[in-house]
A and B are shown apart, each in its own frame.
Chain A
Amino acid sequence: MSAASPPVTPSRDAFVAILAKDLRSELRTLRSLPVMVLFAVTTFVIFRFGLDRTSLSGSLAAGVLWATLLFAAILGTGRLFVAEREEGGFDAIRLAPIDRTVLFAAKATALLVYLAALELVTVPVFAIFFLDSAAPLGPLCAVLALADVGLAATGALISSMAVNSRARDLLVPLVLLPLVVPLMIAATAATEPLLEAGGPAYDRFGLWLAVLGLYDLVFLLVGYAVFDFLLED
């Protein structure tokens, strides 16, 4: 036993440990992803019959897609830190010699994985339900990826703040939804020309991608800067 302070665990090791634990838990319990997928598919069915249209394009198609993905994402966000609160994981992580922002990075990455898996299932369903022609896959994936990073960063931050509240199921959407309005405007605006009836257009596509990237950067930095304080008692 040494009197000197022990070395800090490398952040990469701690990140891998927390992320692997979260993904293993999700695979065993299936408490987030199936609910998100079911919600999204059900919402598409409701839109399909509610709008009474077999095909959508442009802004309406983009709006249906992002409104559905956003609310499905909120379902996953609300449960992101539940195991940490209910099973003492916060204490375990606070007792370990690690940079606590690793927890933020691992949780945001876990949510990113959930969103990617959600979209892997639901975007093809959306295309089958609503699109007459295939959307350009590469640009659409770029928009989805950038918007997912923003949702994951914001979601991990808000979820960690709300998890100790009894009203967390109310608090997460209440705080998260206004925060992601700019993200949703940019994501919808970037997606809209890709889903035009006459084929994809790329007017101001790059601009909206840049807005998405800027949003991601801001919320990743905010998360990095404040997460340590959020874990204090």
Chain B
Amino acid sequence: MTAAIQLDGLRRDFGERPALDGISLRLERGQTLLVLGPNGAGKTTLLRVLSTLLRPSGGRVAVLGCELPGESWRLRGRVGYLGHEPLLYRELSGRENLRFHARLHGLRGDAAERRIDSLLTDAGIARRADERTDALSAGMRRRLAICRCLLHDPELLLLDEPESHLDSEGRELAAALLGAGERTRVVVTHDPERALAGAGRVLVLSHGGVAVRECAAAELATAEARAAIAGVPA
């Protein structure tokens, strides 16, 4: 069976500056990869390359059996991407935003409405789903973004600090929603205590997008993970 993600010497440059410099790893289907590193280490860039939003500058990238960038069109719709921006239109309500995204992903009619209702309820925002999103708090918008990310039942989740802006209740709901099923996950986080427990593998990036460690999550102590996030040796 092909790996969920196979990277061989992935490079991504912004002009002369390398953001990812020779990343190699293999992630099996159903596994969770935790990506750790200080600010500017290329974590978000890695997620954007895996999601097809950025083209790799070099190396080989295969995601769910699709070679990128050549087969990006085969991958779109199979990935749920949760970035820093919620990708929601401010002047539309939460429900209208989800209907819009559902339609873009080919979900229509009663099936789409049931899926939207179910996600809104599970995320604890059903009662505020008909308010414009610019009237919602950042935490509420984050919950909506999680619904948007899961709407089309993606095989691969790319999550950039999924718990940011969330209160403790929101974190529990998000963990239940994003952790359900046998999906493959790539998670960027600054909270390794919670994330390490559910992770299968860990990738530690340092400044300049260099992979300083790639190992099983069990091999990485929380203190080492904290040091990796701070960008200092453990």
Contact = CB atoms under 8 A, between A and B. Distances in A.
B96 A97 contact: no
Given A1-B155, A17-B100, A88 B64 contact: no
A89 B89 contact: yes
B103 interface: yes
A5 B106 contact: no
Interface string A63-105: 0000000000000000000010001110111111110000000
A7 B106 contact: yes
Interface in B142-194: 148, 153, 155, 181-183
B91 A28 contact: yes
B60 interface: no
A83 B74 CA distance: 27
Contact of A88 (B54, B86, B91): B86
A95 B103 contact: no
Interface stretch (B77-85, B122-130, B195-203, B226-234): B77-85
Nearest to B133: A87
Contacts of A34: none
B103 A25 contact: no
Given A24-B96, A95-B81, A17 B103 contact: yes
Nearest to B72: A94
Q: On chain A, which size bracket covers the interface?
A: 20 to 34
A97 B90 contact: no
Contact of B54 (A5, A25, A233): A233
Contact of A6 (B52, B78, B88, B100): B78
B104 interface: yes
B85 A96 contact: no
A28 to B, nearest CB: 5
Nearest to A93: B104
A83 B88 CA distance: 10
Contact of A95 (B52, B90, B182): B52
B89 A87 contact: yes
B108 interface: yes
A93 to B, nearest CB: 7
Nearest to A99: B73
A21 B100 contact: yes
Contacts of A6: 77-78, 106
12 contacts: A5-B75, A5-B78, A13-B106, A14-B104, A24-B92, A87-B88, A89-B89, A94-B53, A96-B105, A97-B73, A98-B76, A232-B55
Given A87-B87, A97-B106, A233-B55, 7 more contacts: A1-B153, A1-B155, A5-B66, A9-B104, A88-B85, A88-B88, A92-B148
